[in-house]
Amino acid sequence: MKILHISSALSWRGGEQQLFNLCTTLNSVNVNQIVACPFDSILYKRITQKNIPTYRFKKRSGLLLGLALKLNKLCKNNDIDIIHVHDSHAHTAAYLAAILGNNTKIVVSRRVDFSIGKHFLSKYKYNHKNIKKIICVSDAIKNVMKTAVKNKNVLCTIHSGINMNRFPSHNKTYKLHQICHYSKEHIVIGNTSALADHKDYFTYIDSAELILKEVPEARFVIIGGGNQKEEIQNYITDKNLQNYITLLGYRSDVPDLLPDFDIFLITSKTEGLGTSILDAFACKVPVVATKAGGIPEIVINNQTGMLASVGNATELAENVIKILNNNELRKILTTNAFDSLSGYTVEKMSQATLNVYQSIL
């Protein structure tokens, strides 16, 4: 068995972390793989450190046809059995390669819970005969995909998994407090998601404003980069909250900083699953989240976290304050959440994916 993974992302977010986890785990059990990704991507820099073969390409908008031709040659020269695509552009390139005569079987990973676009290409690329499985990271995504995919048998759910070894400690180090110039008495409420529209950080900021009225010692930290940084910073300034909310940008040391959170607050309006929530579970940080996408599949209200309606800052703030005022509730939520992680490990996700490969060959 030889797998060709394709990723077109330059940045490092949840999807790239999952691909990295999958490749390194399968590599440890001697599955032959090649990872095709852009020259200057973070994935390329990290995957080469694991001695996994790579094929590098230059990412240019509008040149997916050129990449498709290269994929055909790559599949032929390396006897590829399965192409596994990990994002929309990678999927398009593999689809075009199939149109040009590539008969290699295709597996698609779908990690977002919004509907398939109405463009004719979007309609056909999910229904090509070469596609043997579409792996959805949540049942919520699977249900969305049912409206666009004719052969429902190709759809399956494999929840994302995290590497528990990344989070060896649940104890506060106060490293985050030092970086943000907080005192140990400050209550830290944070998020580690990218600054993207679907994360709805405007509701996060509205929630912070309400929480501060009841908990003036609260401080808010957002760890992540993205194209909405300026817009979010302006919103913080407009509300005069710049002394209470810190944008730290992208950090590679999240496992060291996350245990310093007192609450993990995620206010997404759409979400495939939410692996950053699983990271918080691993650090025994209580989670307050919205009922977006696949989140309710991992955050069970009043059991593994607290849920609120999408866009409801009042409800989100009330849930945060409720946990801060109830140590017993906090203990119940974090214990149950940590125990639930046995179902969301890298090993379980990788084995389920390997089973998919084996089932279609």
> In CATH, what number is assigned to the domain containing residue 234?
3.40.50.2000
Residue 62: predicted pLDDT = 56
User: Considering only CA atoms, which of 77, 62, 72, 53 is closest in space to residue 8?
Assistant: 62
Q: Let me know whether 264 and 331 are in one domain.
A: yes
355 and 236 together in one domain: no
| Alpha carbon distance 146, 115 (integer Å) | 10
> Which portions of the chain are predicted below pLDDT 70?
60-63
- Whether residue 86 sits in one domain with residue 10: yes
Number of domains making up the chain:
2
Q: Are residues 131 and 153 in the same domain?
A: yes
Q: How many CB atoms lie within 10 A of CB 55?
A: 16
Give residue 101's region: left, alpha or beta (phi > 0; psi -120 to 50): left
In angstroms, the CA 174 to CA 168 distance is 16
**Measuring CA to CA, which residue among 254, 300, 251 is closest to residue 280?**
254
- Non-local (6+) Cβ contacts of 282 within 8 A are 162, 164, 166, 167, 338, 341
The number of beta carbons lying within 10 Å of the beta carbon of residue 67 is: 24
| 314 and 232 belong to one structural domain | yes
Same domain for 9 and 124?
yes
Looking at the structure, tell me whether residues 133 and 266 fall in a common domain. Answer: no
What domain range includes position 191? 164-343
In whole angstroms, give the CA distance from residue 359 to residue 260.
Answer: 43
pLDDT digits (tens, 9 = 90+) for 213-262: 999 999 999 999 999 999 999 999 999 999 999 999 999 899 999 999 99
Residues 296, 237, single domain; the answer is: yes
200 phi-psi bin (left φ>0, alpha ψ -120 to 50, beta other): left
Q: Where are the alpha helices (DSSP H) in the chain?
A: 14-28, 42-47, 64-78, 88-99, 120-125, 139-145, 175-180, 201-214, 229-238, 254-257, 275-282, 313-324, 327-340, 346-360
| Residues 119 and 185 grouped into a single domain | no
Tell whether 128 and 239 lie within a shared domain. no
Question: Do 91 and 120 share a domain, yes or no?
Answer: yes
Q: Which pLDDT score, from 0 to 100, does residue 169 have? A: 83
**Are residues 185 and 129 part of one domain?**
no
Rounded to whole angstroms, how far apart are CA atoms 62 and 202?
A: 33
CA 227 – CA 195 distance, rounded (Å) = 6
Provide CB contacts within 8 A for 179, sequence distance 6+: 248, 257
